[in-house]
A and B are shown apart, each in its own frame.
Chain A
Amino acid sequence: MSEFSNLLIEYFRNYNIWFLSIIIVLQCIGIPTGASLLVIASGAFAYAGEFNVVILLLEIWFFSWLGDIIAYIMWKVIGDKALNRQSKIKTYFQPKILKAKTYLIKHGRSSVFFSRFLISAMGPFVNAAAGISGYKLWTFSLFVALGELFWTCIYLGLGYWFGDSFETIVPIVTEFGQFLTYIAILIIALYFFIKAIRNKKLKN
């Protein structure tokens, strides 16, 4: 494991859940902090008898939900302020925000749900889009809670299952996450590619 990972675990051992909660909230806002690694590690420590696994699960679940809600509110405030400050920005971004809003009305639930655990790298972007476009907070909050429950169970469960050998699974989990992100990028790129071809055909 890297020096940074060791440092994270050392702080986690010294400050327990409070450090973990800050790391989780920051990750939800969009700052890569290595929360997944710490959650796996905390699962392993729970297996070693250092924490109660059920209480830990509830705490991690709550803080990841809270982090997403903070990110949503933060982007909502930033979006409103930036749009109201300058009319140029407003006229440029308004159609894009409307587009995002229509997309979220159609696919918002699944986007929010799957971006919590399947393509977690997309999570902060979905939070930003939902906040700026003013997606319903209640629906966002509900699907965030469901998705984060999956995320918590997967990562905490992996740590608990591997116990004292949890370091062997960390690189695989990290690479698997990257792999899913690449696939998501490929799908998005293909979507824009097909769209560009269609537009060209229509113009011709």
Chain B
Amino acid sequence: MKKNVKTLILSILIILTTFIIIRRSTVLLYLKFKNVKLPTKENRQIGNMSTHKWITVKDLSKKSNISVDEIFKNLEIIPQNGDENLFIEELGKKYNKTPQELKDNLRKIIENNKNMEKDKNIEGIKHE
């Protein structure tokens, strides 16, 4: 077979295969795009725990100005030494908590924190 004929056959094969792959992935992509929920303030803060599961109780305590014990209480966990340095996901696995349970409890902590900040702001305005 001549070199050019070989190139032609190979090129046709590559074009056909790529065309089929593109057609398939276009349909799949379209379906996935359709199913994406655009971010809202709520699901950016607590969505599917994408960031929260990678935060330790110690970090969460610093960030939301709540004591470590209070967080464990909200998470319904009786902690052992060093648990404050574990990621929330690892804590869930250690104490057999489902992601949904952790999510609901974390939401409580965040909402409490928000309410406390609101109260502080209102008090500040009153004092002024």
Chain B residue, CB-CB nearest to A47: B44
B44 A162 Cβ-Cβ under 8 A: yes
Asked if A197 is at the interface (CB within 8 A of a chain B CB), the reply is yes
A-B contact count (CB 8 A): 108
- Contact string, A44-55, partner B, CB cutoff 8 A, digits 1/0? 110111100000
**Complex Cα–Cα for A68 and B28 (A):** 32
Query: Which residues of B (43-58) have their CB < 8 Å from a CB of A?
Result: 43-52, 54-55
Asked if B96 is at the interface (CB within 8 A of a chain A CB), the reply is no
Question: Interface size class for chain A?
Answer: 35 or more
* Given A175-B32, A185-B18, residue A163 in contact with residue B11 (CB < 8 A): no
B11 A189 Cβ-Cβ under 8 A: yes
**Complex Cα–Cα for A176 and B46 (A):** 26
**Complex Cα–Cα for A150 and B99 (A):** 35
B67, chain A: closest CB distance, angstroms: 18
Asked if B116 is at the interface (CB within 8 A of a chain A CB), the reply is no
Chain B residue, CB-CB nearest to A203: B4
> Chain B contacts of A172 at CB under 8 A?
29, 32-33, 36
Identify the B interface with A (CB < 8 A).
4, 7-8, 11-12, 14-15, 18-19, 21-22, 25-26, 28-29, 32-33, 36-37, 39, 43-52, 54-55, 59, 63, 87
Identify the A interface with B (CB < 8 A).
9-10, 13, 41, 44-45, 47-50, 161-169, 171-172, 175-176, 178-179, 182-183, 185-186, 189-190, 192-193, 196-197, 199-200, 203
Question: Given A168-B36, A175-B29, A192-B7, 14 other A-B contacts at CB below 8 A?
Answer: A48-B52, A161-B39, A163-B50, A164-B43, A164-B48, A165-B43, A166-B50, A172-B33, A175-B28, A176-B29, A179-B22, A179-B29, A182-B18, A190-B11
